[in-house]
């Protein structure tokens, strides 16, 4: 069974100390430090919080120089919500999963 929501995010410009400080605010996600120094966070299932509230709290804890993005795939609504953010700004794009898959099918 496919989880009804999948969340994939990446934070750039965070060091080890930032990662330790941000860890409580990234719960319940699985965290992985990538080779390029970015921090990836993943969750599959029904996310327990409102995603925009989650991002507001996370953004408030980011260092000023950090940035991130998050893709939330909602299988029930068949939509992808893409958030790009810094401590001081956020943008949101919504697209139908069919449109997204058509746009990127040449990558796989």
Residues 66-78 have pLDDT tens digits of 999 999 999 889 9
Find the Cα–Cα–Cα–Cα dihedral 85, 89, 92, 93, rounded to 10°: -80
- The pLDDT-based confidence of 4 (bands split at 50, 70, 90) is confident
**Model pLDDT, residue 1:** 47
Q: Percent of the chain beyond pLDDT 70?
A: 89
Cis amide linkage into residue 19, ω under 30° from 0: no
CB 75 within 8 A of CB 2: yes
Domains in the chain, please, with CATH?
5-107 (3.30.70.120)
Q: How many CB atoms lie within 10 A of CB 97?
A: 14
Tell me the whole-structure pTM to 2 decimals: 0.87
Q: Percent of the chain beyond pLDDT 90?
A: 74
CB 45 within 8 A of CB 5: yes
């Amino acid at each position: 069974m496919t989880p009804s929501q999948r969340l994939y995010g990446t934070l750039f410009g965070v060091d080890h100390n930032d990662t330790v400080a941000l860890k409580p605010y990234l719960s319940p996600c699985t965290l992985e430090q990538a080779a390029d120094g970015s921090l990836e966070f993943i969750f599959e299932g029904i996310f327990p919080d409102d995603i925009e509230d989650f991002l507001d709290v996370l953004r408030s804890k980011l260092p000023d120089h950090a940035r991130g993005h998050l893709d939330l795939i909602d299988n029930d609504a068949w939509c992808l919500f893409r958030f790009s953010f810094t401590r001081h700004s956020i943008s949101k794009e919504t697209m139908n999963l069919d449109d997204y898959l058509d746009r990127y099918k040449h990558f796989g």
